[in-house]
Amino acid sequence: MTDNILEVHGIHTLYGESHILHGVSFEIKKGQTVSIMGRNGMGKSTTLKSILGIVKPRSGSVLYKGQDIDALPTWKRMRNDIAYVPEGRGMFHNLTVKEHLQMAARKNSRGEEHWTYEQVLDVFPRLQERLTNKGTQLSGGEQQMLAIGRALLTNPDLLILDEATEGLAPLIRKEIWDVIRKIKATGVSTIIVDKNIKVLHELCEQHILIVKGKVQFSGDSQALDANREFIESSLAV
């Protein structure tokens, strides 16, 4: 068995005729927290969607826990203990907070249950107060917490957070980052797509920079420091 929870090998993804990913490759070790950075429209979300099978890469392959998962439909990949918190959070307006959590909750594929309903409410006391509200009646920060809580209740081995702090007030952002630190401490492998280099530097063991559908930089936080100028210029609008 390999040490890598995820290996992405040279994926090319196209939306119709437009070529978005030009051979993206990287590896993520078990238990690692990895950042994916890049300006808007550079292919970060497309990379995630290709990993999950929401869009199908034209070529290349994705290995998860050493297994080639290219042939699996999205829902089966998720059943193998991947959790995805999408950009825009994806609330269901006809479900309450409690119902959101109930419908998501399940043991992982090995029958383990690291996260329970109560534990999630402990981590997000704000959700406790909002149990009977509909998903879309929540503030942006609360929606984000619910989206993360919902993902945790599937007891994942790999957690994927797409722009989890996007469009939130600084105080709420801090709260979200604190939770991500707590999640990290439990040893879950995590992919974080974000633009906040400072926090990512502290939180992640590995960093990946995607520019125009290609990996332009990949390395640990030390390497990040050494290339800081280049990376910051690549992120600046």
Partner 1 sequence: MSVFSTKAEKVFILAFFFIALGVPLFFNENTFYVNKISTMLILSIFVMSLDYLVGKTGLISLGHAMFYGLGGYLFAIMVPEYEEVNFWIYTFYVMAASSVIALIVGLIVLRTSGIYMIMITLALAQMTFYFFADSTEYGGLDGLFIYLKPETSIFGLNFLDLDNETHFYYLCLLSLFNCYVFFKITLQSRFGRVIDAVKENPERATALGYNIFHFRLVAYVLSSSLAAYAGYLFSLQYGFVNPTMMSWEVSASALVMAILGGLGTVFGAILGVFVYESLHYGIEHMTQYWMFWMGSLIIVMVLTLKSGIAGLVEKLVTGKRK
56 part of the interface to partner 1, by CB under 8 A? no
Q: Is 149 in the site for partner 1 (CB under 8 A)?
A: no
- Determine the Cα–Cα distance for residues 182 and 203; give it in Å rounded to an integer: 11
* DSSP run (H or E) holding 15: strand 4-15
Stretch that binds partner 1, among 27-35, 79-87, 137-145, 183-191 (CB under 8 A): 79-87
Smallest gap from residue 79 Cβ to partner 1 (A): 5
The token duo for 1 is: 């068995």
Asked whether the beta carbons of 211 and 39 are under 8 A apart, the reply is yes
User: 72 or 211, CB closer to partner 1?
Assistant: 72
Determine how many CB atoms are found less than 10 A away from the CB of residue 17. Answer: 5
Contact flag: residue 52 with partner 1 (CB under 8 A): yes
Instruction: Draw the binding track, 85-124, toward partner 1 (x: CB under 8 A; -: no contact).
Output: -x---x-xxxx---x--xxx-x------------------
E strand intervals along the chain: 4-15, 18-29, 33-37, 59-64, 67-68, 82-85, 158-162, 189-193, 206-211, 214-219
| Nearer to partner 1 (CB atom), residue 54 or residue 197 | 54
Shortest reach from residue 215's CB to partner 1, in Å: 24
211 binds partner 1 (CB under 8 A): no
Q: Kindly state whether residue 131 participates in binding partner 1, applying the rule CB under 8 A.
A: no
Contact 219, 207 (CB under 8 A): yes
Cα 200–Cα 148–Cα 55 angle in degrees, nearest 5: 85
Q: Is 205 in the site for partner 1 (CB under 8 A)?
A: no
Report helix, strand or coil for 158: strand
> Distances in Å between the alpha carbon of 111 and those of 32, 56, 150?
22, 29, 18
- For partner 1, the closer CB: 70 or 99: 99
Could you give the CA distance from residue 80 to residue 65 in angstroms, rounded to a whole number? 9
Q: Residue 187 interacts with partner 1 (CB under 8 A)? A: no
The least CB distance from residue 206 to partner 1, in Å, is: 24
- Binding positions for partner 1, rule: CB under 8 A: 52, 54, 73-76, 78-79, 84, 86, 90, 92-95, 99, 102-104, 106, 150, 154
